[in-house]
Amino acid sequence: MTDLDLERLARRTPPSPDADARTRALAAAMSAFDGAEKNRDAAQGSAAGGRRSSILNRIWSPIMNRRLLAGSALATLLVVPVAGLVTLELVRNGAVSLTPQVERREAGPVADGQVDAGSSLSAGKSETGQKPSGADKARKVAPLPDSRTAADETTVAEPAPAAGAVEAAESQADAVLAEEPQLSIGQAGQTRALTRTLVQPTDVIALPVPQADDRERFASGDPNPVKSVAHEPVSTFSADVDTASYSFVRRSLLSGSLPDREAVRVEELVNYFPYDWAGPKSAAVPFNATVTVTPTPWNPGTELLHIGIKGYETVAATQPAANLVFLIDVSGSMNEPDKLPLLKSAFRLLVGTLKPTDTVSIVTYAGNAGVVLEPTAAKDSARILAAIDGLQPGGSTAGAEGIEAAYALAEKGFVEDGVNRVMLATDGDFNVGPSSDEDLKAMIEAKRKSGIFLSVLGFGRGNYNDSMMQALAQNGNGTAAYVDTLAEARKALVEEAGSSLFPIARDVKFQVEFNPARIAEYRLIGYETRALNREDFNNDKVDAGDIGSGHRVTAIYEVTPKGSPAVLNDPLRYGAAEAEPAAASSELAFVRMRYKTPTGDTSALVTLPVTDANVVADLAQAPGDVRFSIAVAAFGQKLQGVAALQDYAYGSILGLAEAARGTDPFGYRAEFLQLVRLAGGLAGEKAE
């Protein structure tokens, strides 16, 4: 109220007193006086002695009882705010405690809008004598709906204290309560509001809240280093046709965050896209290699040696019979829309692509493994789909037990000279199974040798063990895919079903030897988890990746020509003399590839020289697929934080990819352009 309002009130004439009202008020006062006189000898208050009063009353009463202020409305208007401010300052400075002791007593029924003084401030105990639950604690600090003041509104707007802070503050408050006299029930509402303030101090709110553990683990390594050709001229690695990393990266970006660097495997991003590499003319040689050498867009002093592999594409009618076992995780964590429901839709799509003579079995695992469907011919699709639709989540995860049951079914329906494959679908790892990770890998490797392979489909976020999934797929001669949308399920299980299910070459290995007379340094882009020792190339006992029908595999090296200012390694002062140049000086490198047939145990060798005839002097003149795959490789390295790409902006990657987009019937490349834009924005790059 302003001074002007007070002045207007002072000028107003008060109304004349009503005689009847005055008579009724006098009669009520006399009746109350008579009642007090009759009860004056009865015991009052508590036997503890002294008047039951809070410290608030002890501060307030002397002020209000002074004769100077008695009966003055204006004095009340002035003193009430001043007293409130004084009390607030005393509380803030810790000089006084406004939290009185409440008598411990059995709680009785309390009317709506009232406070039970015996239960609202009890020292960490509920009405049953047990430690209160989180909900009980929340009720202790909740505002009273019928007596909330303006100060209460401010208190309620404060953030909730950290986990455990309320209990600690209440214990501290109880120590203060023990020294204060008891409140009457009429004072309890005021007390609760003050207590609510005490259990939410600034230093309590600032306590860190424990975060949930991040259980996602990825199979990645540090980006490959630059190597000197003079001292390490040979690079050896296994084929990789997996695409899980691209889907995971996409999901992260669409969720509004840059992906974990360890989740980025550049070769899986590059190999996600279909390219029109030239394929072999017959199945006699299961794949063909196309080599192109171009300038490096992010480093003018280097070149890119680009190798594109295309597998022979079998006709569906000639593909062998398939014996498939769906091993499905139905644990409680799968009860999310992007997990079990999406998984069921994905397998429904796959069933629709199978030949009538193919067979399907279903094993689930959650606590214990169970056989849902014995080997059933694909022509009986209604029965298979009904079994899929009936899957329900629940239980823990006994993955190892499930794998054992799945392999038992695969052996039961084994098809000679056919495809025998377990397809594991899960959101995480095997956290209850009796076997260790190494035991699982050993079992899968043994089953692989018997002709039963394993592929992996990952779903969901938060618990995904990418590292384990990659290891299982590699040991099982299978592929690993991550399914984040139904469109991705269609791509992996329908459009690329032939390459995923029907291998045309096993244990495919690559080895590139660089000519030290022409190349000073090289760096393999990606394939960090697929690196092999030089001697592994000719060892047929060493496992490697498989290539399926129509599969495309792309490998890119960044190479530094001899004499380039971009050379990073100085020559050794006391090193051995450099190797003699190759007889054909036009050769930059020599590519070797080894593979086994799907049923063979001895590898065959394919070789290809890389010469000046493979060089394209201007990147803009290189084939569109080469340029687009280079843009994807640049994107993956940028997400990995590779130093060589530090100054190469996402905008430059976008421009390179847009110019090479070409034919895009499924929209994969258009989606990639959008992901590059998102990454640039999330990384804080300014739009050009």
Name the least confident of 106-115, 443-452, 472-481: 106-115
Establish if 607 belongs to a structural domain. yes
- Of 57-66, 175-184, 394-403, 581-590, where does the model show the most confidence? 581-590
For residue range 262-306, list pLDDT tens digits in order.
999 999 999 999 999 999 988 888 999 999 999 999 999 999 999
Q: Which of 455, 484, 501 is the last residue of a domain?
A: 501
Q: Are residues 394 and 543 in the same domain?
A: no
Question: For residue 497, what pLDDT is reported?
Answer: 85
Domains contained in the chain, number: 2
Quote the mean pLDDT of the chain. 78
Q: Are residues 672 and 558 in the same domain?
A: yes
Q: Are residues 383 and 430 in the same domain?
A: yes
Q: Are residues 589 and 629 in the same domain?
A: yes
Establish if 67 belongs to a structural domain. no
Establish if 160 belongs to a structural domain. no
Question: For residue 59, what pLDDT is reported?
Answer: 52
Name the least confident of 269-278, 428-437, 445-454: 428-437
- Joined tokens for residue 425: 């679908």
Closest CA to 369 of 403, 332, 335, 320: 403
Write the DSSP symbol of residue 227.
Answer: E
Name the least confident of 188-202, 434-448, 576-590: 188-202
Q: Are residues 462 and 497 in the same domain?
A: yes
Alpha-carbon separation of residue 568 from 123, 521, 541, 574, 679 (angstroms): 69, 8, 36, 18, 29
Q: Give CA–CA dist 470/594, Å, rounded.
A: 22
pLDDT band at 19 (very low <50, low <70, confident <90, very high): low
Question: For residue 127, what pLDDT is reported?
Answer: 40
Establish if 232 belongs to a structural domain. yes
State the DSSP H helix or E strand holding residue 560, giving kind and residue range, or none if neither: strand 552-561
Establish if 117 belongs to a structural domain. no
Query: Mean pLDDT across the stretch 301-324?
Result: 92
Would you say 190 and 64 are in contact if contact means Cβ atoms under 8 Å apart? no
For residue range 328-345, list pLDDT tens digits in order.
999 888 999 999 999 999
Query: Mean pLDDT across the stretch 581-597?
Result: 84
- What percent of the chain is predicted at pLDDT more than 70? 66
Which domain range does residue 378 map to?
A: 316-501
Question: For residue 81, what pLDDT is reported?
Answer: 55
Establish if 77 belongs to a structural domain. no
Question: For residue 611, what pLDDT is reported?
Answer: 96
Q: Are residues 538 and 663 in the same domain?
A: yes
Establish if 362 belongs to a structural domain. yes
Q: Which of 480, 501, 522 is the last residue of a domain?
A: 501
Q: Give CA–CA dist 673/677, Å, rounded.
A: 6
pLDDT score of 179 more than 50: no
Q: Are residues 473 and 612 in the same domain?
A: no
Q: Are residues 275 and 349 in the same domain?
A: no
pLDDT band at 442 (very low <50, low <70, confident <90, very high): confident
Cα-based angle 622, 504, 248 (whole degrees, multiple of 5) = 65
The CATH number given to whatever domain includes residue 495 is 3.40.50.410
Query: Mean pLDDT across the stretch 108-132?
Result: 41
Q: Are residues 286 and 366 in the same domain?
A: no
Establish if 80 belongs to a structural domain. no
pLDDT score of 47 more than 80: no
Question: For residue 82, what pLDDT is reported?
Answer: 54
Q: Are residues 359 and 389 in the same domain?
A: yes
Q: Which of 458, 485, 501 is the last residue of a domain?
A: 501
* 18 compared with 318, residue with greater pLDDT: 318
Name the least confident of 6-15, 41-50, 577-586: 41-50
Q: Are residues 495 and 531 in the same domain?
A: no
Instruction: Region of 308 please: left (phi>0), alpha (psi -120 to 50) or beta.
Output: beta
For residue range 199-225, list pLDDT tens digits in order.
444 433 343 433 444 567 787 678 999
Residues 665, 668, 669, 670, CA torsion sign = positive
* 221 compared with 538, residue with greater pLDDT: 538
Is the pTM higher than 0.85? The answer reads no
Would you say 467 and 217 are in contact if contact means Cβ atoms under 8 Å apart? yes
The CATH number given to whatever domain includes residue 651 is 2.60.40.1230
Q: Are residues 413 and 556 in the same domain?
A: no
